């Protein structure tokens, strides 16, 4: 009896782990391949969108984002190492349609007053952070949508000026100016403190 032939696994791809460009390219012929892109990025996209419009609207926005990404997958730049900037660009476009929801989220009573029922269970650090939320929400409302887009992409997602420009379809210098202006206006608004309400 001959020994069994060893099974040799090709690196990553046959194990189900493929880079975004490969998965998207495959999905043009086999739509199921797009599932890998969805699984890889849906959590980060949801967290980002929820920070912008609140969890109540985030599911709908995220569904729209991935539907749009799937529909335009043939145009994806296959030299890109990650689909995340491309997805953030789609998010930015979708958020323009949800500005009212974003403003409602930033103005909502829970952000202004906090949740007193859980206050006793929070650590002091979390209470301190929770106390800042009303001022931060009020300060973000004072930014223009363009400034908010750039600032949140930089702060939440740690994107560079170049990456932000790529995501939003603007020039790098424009992204830099908007980020600087947004930071200054946010700093000034937070410095006023109680005058923001």
142-184 tens-digit pLDDT: 788 888 888 888 887 788 899 899 888 899 999 999 999 989 9
Q: Report the number of distinct structural domains present in the chain.
A: 2
pLDDT at 197: 38
Is there a single domain that holds both residue 91 and residue 137? no
Report helix angle 99-107 to 84-96, nearest 10: 80
What rounded mean pLDDT belongs to the chain? 75
Same domain, 115 and 195: yes
Mean pLDDT of 113-129: 41
pLDDT score recorded for residue 123 = 39
What residues contact 90, with CB distance under 8 A and at least 6 apart? Answer: 65, 68, 69, 72
What pLDDT is stored for residue 191 in this prediction?
75
Put residue 13 in one of left, alpha, beta given phi > 0 → left and psi -120 to 50 → alpha. Answer: alpha
Q: What is the pLDDT of residue 135?
A: 66
Query: Cβ distance 59 to 141 under 8 Å?
Result: no
On the CB side of 142, how many CA atoms lie within 13 Å of its CA? 20
Q: Which domain-ending residue is among 102, 137, 159? A: 102
The residue from 69, 102, 135 where one domain ends is: 102
Q: Is 54 left (phi over 0), alpha (psi -120 to 50) or beta?
A: left
Q: Are residues 177 and 131 in the same domain?
A: yes
Residues 6+ positions from 135 with CB-CB distance below 8 Å: 189, 190, 193, 196
- Quote the pTM value: 0.64
- Co-location of 96 and 168 in the same domain: no
Scan for tokens 């419009």, then name that residue: 53
Same domain, 48 and 122: no
Confidence of residue 108 (pLDDT cuts 50, 70, 90): low
- For residues 68 and 91, state if they share a domain: yes
* CATH, residue 169: 1.10.10.10
Q: Which residues contact 152 (CB under 8 A, 6 or more apart)?
A: 48, 51, 52
Q: Are residues 115 and 35 part of one domain?
A: no
The 10s digit of each residue's pLDDT in 46-89 is 988 887 887 878 898 999 999 999 999 999 998 988 899 899 98
pLDDT of residue 12: 37
* Amino acid 173: pLDDT: 95
Q: Tell me which residue has tokens 């410095």.
A: 191
Distance CA 4, CA 140 (A): 64
Using the predicted structure, report yes or no on whether residue 14 has a pLDDT greater than 50: no
Whichever domain contains 35, its CATH number is 1.10.1740.10
- The answer on 147 and 123 residing in a single domain is yes
Q: Of 102, 133, 161, at which residue does a domain stop?
A: 102
What whole-number distance in Å separates Cα of residue 99 and Cα of residue 95? 6
pLDDT digits (tens, 9 = 90+) for 27-53: 999 999 999 999 999 999 998 888 788
The whole-number pLDDT of residue 28 equals 95
């Amino acid at each position: 009896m001959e020994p069994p032939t060893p099974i040799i696994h090709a690196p990553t791809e046959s194990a189900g782990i493929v880079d975004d460009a490969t998965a998207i390219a495959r999905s043009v012929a086999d739509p199921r391949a797009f599932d890998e892109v969805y699984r890889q990025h849906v959590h980060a996209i949801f967290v980002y969108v929820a920070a912008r419009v609140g969890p109540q609207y985030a599911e709908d926005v995220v569904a729209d984002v991935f539907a749009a990404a799937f529909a335009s997958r043939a145009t994806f730049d296959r030299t890109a190492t990650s689909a995340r900037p491309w997805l953030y660009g789609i998010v930015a476009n979708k958020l323009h349609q949800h500005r009212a929801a974003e403003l409602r989220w930033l103005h909502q009573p829970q952000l202004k007053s906090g949740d007193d029922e859980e206050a006793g269970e929070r650590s002091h650090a979390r209470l301190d952070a929770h106390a800042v939320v009303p001022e931060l929400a009020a300060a973000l409302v004072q930014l223009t949508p363009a400034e908010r887009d750039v600032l949140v992409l930089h702060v939440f997602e740690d994107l560079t000026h170049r990456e932000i420009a790529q995501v939003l379809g603007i020039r790098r210098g424009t992204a830099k100016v908007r980020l600087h202006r947004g930071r200054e206006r946010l700093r000034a608004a937070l410095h006023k403190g109680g005058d923001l309400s």
